[in-house]
Chain A
Amino acid sequence: MATTEWPTTEWPTLDGRPLDGPLLRDIGLVCLAVGVVGLSYGAVAVTSGFDWWFPVLMGVLVLAASSEFLFVGIIAAGGSPIAALLAGLLVNARHLPFGLAVPGVLGQGWRGALGAHLMNDETVVFALAQDEPERKRAAYWLCGLGILVCWPVGAALGALLGSVVRDTGALGLDAMFPAVILALILPALKDGPLRRTALAGAALALTATPFLPAGLPVLLALAALPLFAVKTKKEAMR
Chain B
Amino acid sequence: MSAAAAIPLPSTLAAMLALAAGTFLLRLSGPALRARCTLPDRAGKLLEVSAVLLLAALAATSALAEGDAFTGPARPLGVLTGGVLAWRRAPFLVVVLAAAGTTALLRLAGVP
Contact = CB atoms under 8 A, between A and B. Distances in A.
Contacts, number: 300
B93 to A, nearest CB: 5
Bin chain B's interface residue count.
35 or more
Dominant SS at the B interface? Answer: helix
B7 A49 contact: yes
A116 to B, nearest CB: 4
B26 A92 contact: yes
Nearest to B82: A179
Given A66-B62, A225-B53, A179 B79 contact: yes
A61 B17 contact: yes
Contact of A100 (B39, B64, B86): B39
A161 interface: no
A221 B27 contact: no
Interface stretch (A6-14, A79-87, A131-139): A79-87
Interface string B1-16: 1111111100111111
Interface in B71-112: 74-75, 78-79, 82-83, 86-87, 91-93, 95-108
A167 to B, nearest CB: 9
A153 interface: no
Given A179-B99, A218-B54, A172 B78 contact: yes
Contact of A97 (B12, B16, B32, B51): B51
Given A182-B79, A202-B59, A101 B51 contact: yes
Given A96-B30, A182-B79, A221-B56, A49 B19 contact: no
B16 A54 contact: yes
Given A51-B2, A100-B39, A210-B69, A183 B23 contact: no
Interface in A187-220: 188-189, 194, 197-199, 201-206, 209-212, 214, 217-220
Contact of A88 (B23, B50, B52, B67): B23
Given A61-B16, A77-B67, A95-B30, A202 B56 contact: yes
Interface of B: 1-8, 11-20, 22-24, 26-34, 39, 44-65, 67-70, 74-75, 78-79, 82-83, 86-87, 91-93, 95-108
18 contacts: A29-B92, A33-B96, A36-B100, A49-B6, A61-B16, A89-B22, A99-B29, A99-B33, A173-B100, A175-B63, A175-B78, A176-B100, A178-B99, A182-B59, A201-B57, A202-B57, A209-B68, A225-B46
